[in-house]
Amino acid sequence: MPSYEDLCDIITIGAVSKGKMSEITGGGFFSRFQQRSEAFQKTVQISLLISSVLILAIYSYVVYTWNKSKLGLITSVSVVLMDIYNFLLFKSGMIEKPIGIVFMFIVNRILFVSFGEGYWIYGYMCLYICYSVTFGWLIAKKHFPFEGDVILENAKLSRMKTMRGKALEKY
């Protein structure tokens, strides 16, 4: 748990050690979780999956009993399908960092329910627009690298050539 001084350091953009920063932002929790046994990790993952599906089922039931509408069921199924889709995107390497997948999960849930019962279709449309823009950016970045990426790659290659030349001179 971060102390008051740690939070003040972050808020005032003070010098915070990497250890404190990772502990405050959850990196310490994640590294401790990764050090646990694989059986423990699978148990936690399965329990989180079951609890999230249970929450969706409760949500569907509540929406159905209040409004006699099947929108809760539609939303629950959509959330599960988009979670599976995001998981496949993460495993395929299209989304490289965990923060990217967490961001997509949050955007999914917000846009699925934010426009309410009357305008739910607009939330779905905004969600798919977000996905199309994200994929367009990722595909463009992969096939047409930005100028800064090209400069960095050239610097890495030239550094490798000089390092290799120095290594060959020694022999």
What is the pLDDT at residue 86? 84
In terms of domains, do 12 and 53 share one? no
Q: Indicate yes or no: pTM above 0.75.
A: no
In terms of domains, do 4 and 57 share one? no
In terms of domains, do 52 and 84 share one? yes
d(CA 60, CA 19): 42
Contact 20, 2 (CB under 8 A): yes
What is the pLDDT at residue 5? 64
In terms of domains, do 83 and 139 share one? yes
In terms of domains, do 12 and 51 share one? no
Number of domains in the chain: 2
In terms of domains, do 55 and 109 share one? yes
Please check the confidence at residue 14 and state whether its pLDDT lies above 60.
no
pLDDT digits (tens, 9 = 90+) for 23-51: 555 556 667 777 888 888 889 888 888 88
Q: 152 lies in a domain?
A: no
Q: 140 lies in a domain?
A: yes
In terms of domains, do 72 and 121 share one? yes
In terms of domains, do 97 and 71 share one? yes
Structure tokens at 117: 């019962």
d(CA 138, CA 62): 38
pLDDT digits (tens, 9 = 90+) for 69-100: 777 788 788 888 888 888 888 888 877 777 88
What integer is the mean pLDDT of 157-165?
71
H-type alpha helices, the chain: 4-11, 18-24, 27-35, 38-67, 71-92, 98-113, 120-143, 147-170
Contact 73, 64 (CB under 8 A): yes
Range of the domain at 10: 1-35
